[in-house]
Each structure stands twice: as C-alpha cells, then as structure tokens.
Amino acid sequence: MQRSGTWKLAVVAVAAAVTLVGAGAPPPLSPAKSPVAVGYGGAVSSVDADATAAGIRVLRDGGNAVDAAVATAAALGVTEPYSAGVGGGGYFVYYDARTRTVHTVDGRETAPLTADAHLFTENGKPLAFADAVTSGLAVGTPGTPATWRTALDSWGTRRLGTVLKPAERLARDGFTVDDTFRSQTASNEARFRFFPDTAKLFLPGGRLPVVGSTFKNPDLARTYAELAREGVGVIYRGDLGRDIVNTVNKPPVDPGSGWNARPGKLSARDLAAYRAKLQRPTETSYRGLNVYSIAPSSSGGTTVGEALNILEDSDLSRLSETQYLHRYIEASRIAFADRGRWVGDPAFEDVPTKGLLSQRFADSRACLIKPTSVLTSPLAPGDPRHPAACGTAGKAAPTTYEGENTTHLTTADKWGNVVSYTLTIEQTGGSGITVPGRGFLLNNELTDFSFAPADPAVHDPNLPGPGKRPRSSISPTIVLDRQHRPVLALGSPGGATIITTVLQTLTNVLDRHMRLVDAIAAPRASQRNAAKTELEPALYDSPLRARLEALGHSFSENPEIGAATGVQRLPGGKWLAAAETTRRGGGSAMVVDPTR
C-alpha cells in the first residue's frame, strides 16, 4: 500500500477509531518508499513502508530475521487490515544459517471440530459464495497468533511483547490513509455496513476514510498490548478467544441491514485444540539449486515444484519470449490439473507429496507440452503414484476460487537467516466481521474449501471436515545454492495466482537472468487449468499475445496479478530487498545499513 510522504492538514473530524489530525498538526510521516534497497545488516521487504520499517527497527536493535518477520507481520495487521491480522492465518518458511537447513510452520486456519462435508450446503444445495463469505460459517480458527509464538519459540531471539511494540505504537498513533486503503474500503463498503463494529472502525462518521487522514485503531493497540502482556494464550484459552467465539456464533449484524449473517460453529474447544504445525518443507532441485517451500495443507510448494520439474529439461534462457511464455503457461496448466486432484490437508487426505515432486512424474507430464500447439483445459490429472508417459488419470477438477488479497513479507539478518512469510484473512476484508472492541477482522478462510464435489464420481480432497485445513495456494519460497546458502527468497499474495506469480518470478530470475526487482515488476500471465490464461495489460496489449494466440492460446485480461516481495543474497555480506514498483501502490524494501 502506498503511504504518502507528504504532510497533509486535516479538514474534517471523524469518530474516535479513525482520527483526522487537526489543522496545524500533521499526521505521522511514513518512511520513504522504495521498491529496491541494497546494503548490510539485514533486509526487509513488504507491501507497506510502515511495516517494513517495523522489521528494520527490530533488526537494528539486534533481533534476527524471525523477530523482524513477526514485527513486520504485526504491523501489516495495522496497515493492511483487509489482508492480514490476528484473525487470520498463514505459512512461515525459515532458513537457519547456522545449520543451513529450512524449516516451516503451517499456521493455516482450521474448520470447527463439528464441521463436515456439508458445511456450506443448505437445503441440499451449495450456498452462493457471497452468502457464505460474509458469515460466521466462513471463519476458521485463527492461526496467525500461534504461528508467531511457534516461530519465536523455535528460532527467535526476542519475546513476543518486544516485537509487537512497533505495531502497537502504529495502531495507537496511526498511519496515513492512501488511495489503496480508501479503494479497498470502498470495495467493501456495502458489506462493512452490515456490521456496526466494522462500520464504526473502517467507515468513520459513516463515510469512507479520507486520503491523507490518519487512521488510528486504539482497539487493536490494546489487543496487541494484551497479547504482549499475557501471550497468545488469551486467544486460544482466554477472554479474547471467548470474544472471537461469540462473534462467530452470533455475528453482530445490524438488524436493519436485512443481511442474513449465518452463524458459525466455532467453539472454545476448537481454539484450545489449535496448533501451528512444524513440518518439513517441500524440496525441489532446479538448475543445480535447491528450492524449498511449504508442504500441504498448502498446494504452493508441490505445484510450483512440479512446474519447475516440468520445465527442467527446457533451456528457457535460450527460448524466444513467445516460446518461454508458452512453456511456462503449459507447465502451470499441468501442475494445476494435478493439484486439483491430489492436494488437500494431509491429516485427512493421502497426499502423494513425494510423487508430485518427483522428476519421473514431471517427465511423464512434460511430454504433453508441444512447441506448436496448446493443451485443452480443463486438463485431466496424472497419477504420481504410477507415472505413465503423457498419461492422464480420471476427470479434471476445477480450480476453486480463492480471495486474492493476502500479503507477503521477506526478511534477512546479518547472520544470514532468512524468512519468507505469507499471511492472510483470505479475500479483501475477510468475512467483513470485526470482533467488537478488539480492532481486527475475522477471516473467511473456510470458503477455500470446495462447497460440494464438482463431480460426485470423483474424489475431492478439499471438502470440509472436522478440524481440517482448507487447501491453500500460498507459496513462500527460499532458494539455496549447492552449499546450502541462500540465493533468494520470495512470495506473493493473490489467491491461486500466487503459484503462477512465484513460478514466473523464479524463472525470470533463474532462467531469464533478470534482476529480482525487474522480475517482480515484469508483466504476469496466470494459467490455472482454465480455458483462458489471464494476462496483465502489458502482456494483453503486446504483440506477444497475438503470437501466443497463433499457437492456440486464449486469454482474458486481469488488471493486476499478485504483489510479490523478495530478498537476495549478494557477495560481501550484502542483501538486496525488492518489492513491487506499482502493484498495490508499490511495495517497500529497506536494509539496515545502505553503506555499512
């Protein structure tokens, strides 16, 4: 999100939750915003300058990459409340420089223990998405606070209370409203008005927040102070958790709105049973490098990894731009076909992770790609348990909808530790339901489940179940060299387009030899086993589109795909941090010391 670097005088007064600073008293000045920074002592990259600065502050005070990641994430809960926060979840990937190993935390939200495959059916039919998303039914047990605790306890050097301080101050003192924040509020205005607590916080005085005003969230500041003082147990076994349960099960809807805010089924037992899971990462070899990401319940690591394996035998560096994009699109199509059939929560489904990431399986699928013709979507999956050359197994599974407004951050420290962390409340604004007096929105993560099988004769690994994690596309990634030293780390928001954004950015850097900031800025294409491939305008309006159409590709336009951030290790102890140049208002990259 873009934060104004210009001091502006306020002209109107609004409610207490959001304060326009009076004439003669400028709002807080956000740090300068740049999409790239190079220097020493560590680096942070996120979509927001205030959040990136929070992470840098922790690094300057002697914290490590894990401490900085939690501080940045907490600050994003203030400045990016429609994308992330205490009421959501995410996936955390960590590189330990001392042991040269990669570790991950699955902090995905879970369905209530009473949930079954019919969670989103009513009168025998699946609910409309719009009816499900803005309801208690959509809310999963939050995993973000448990992720912070697990990461800090396992690898951090600072206490939770210490790393929450910058975010607590930011919530209390406020940040400057920009065009992105206002437009995101506007896109949610109608449903925010269904809930008086949400409207009071995000529609001060009944109006959209004014660009240049100062947005304060004192309720969230108090929530962070309570978490700092009492620990995250107040969510999973305490008063804050009871407030969440009450809000989910009795959504505080305005009776006059006419909105049927269906109650959820969350219980104190669900919160007490929740655990963020320490688990092994996915690992793929590509161009002599080792690519690590998150394993199921997210499909990100397996799907990006399979696509890279499919592309391994193609010398993408020597191909024309047309042939490069053709092969990238086809590899994405194939990997998504296999994702839809095989990936779900491994606590409930027999996910053949090893098979999906095997080069043998990738080779059996890569032979489907022809240089002069295009595969037809929806493409049927292969069988990683029994790979057959150019073979398919069963019917295609459609890609379910996932909200696109997640957020990603990357951090590195002077010791060489690296974090790639994607966190979310699912779609922009989550469920739209604010926990009264607590200052944060609840997720709508359970709508990432399939509402019903697309084909009753085909097994769907992503149906709801008791305590089950819905499938995700989140793909936080860390690349190591042969000596197991970091090369780069990156990730992106964007729902199912996360996978293609990460894949395209990786190939842009590793094959097309772009600078990281240029690879992030490059126009994107996203194919997810659909009839049409989505193109951003710079590709849709380019001669490349006609050349690809001549091969048989079909396209639709998507104004913006993803909003990536990354860090890259440079020689001599330097770090490069990179973020978007224009997407989501441009990102923010900083280093501890640009000059040493």
d(CA 83, CA 562): 13
Phi, psi angles (nearest 5°) of residue 268: -60, -30
Sign of CA dihedral 230, 81, 165, 35: positive
First and final C-alpha spacing in the chain:
29
Contact 130, 72 (CB under 8 A): no
Compute the CA torsion angle 489, 493, 499, 504 (nearest 10 deg). -60
- At 203, list the tokens: 């529609």
Give the phi and the psi of residue 484 in degrees, each rounded to 5.
Answer: 60, 40
**406 belongs to the catalytic site:** yes
The β-bridge partners of 90 are 107, 423
379: number of CA atoms within 13 Å, CB side? Answer: 28
Between CA 472 and CA 493 the distance in angstroms is 11
Q: How far apart are CA 38 and CA 21, in angstroms?
A: 35
Residue of 493, 489, 482 whose CA lies nearest to 417 = 489
How far is residue 160's CA from residue 166's CA, in Å, rounded to a whole number? 11
Buried/exposed code over 46-67 (b: 16+ C-beta within 10 A; e: otherwise): bbbbbbbbbbbbbbeeebbbbb
For 283, the enclosing helix (H) or strand (E) is strand 282-286
SS3 assignment, position 590: strand
For 388, residues 6+ apart whose C-beta sits below 8 A from its C-beta are: 364, 382
Closest CA to 501 of 557, 560, 428, 425: 560
Q: How would you classify residue 327: left for phi > 0, otherwise alpha for psi between -120 and 50, otherwise beta? A: alpha
Non-local (6+) Cβ contacts of 10 within 8 A are 20, 21, 22, 23, 25, 27, 210, 212, 213, 214
Active site residue: 104, 406, 424, 507, which one? Answer: 406
Residues carrying an active site annotation: 406
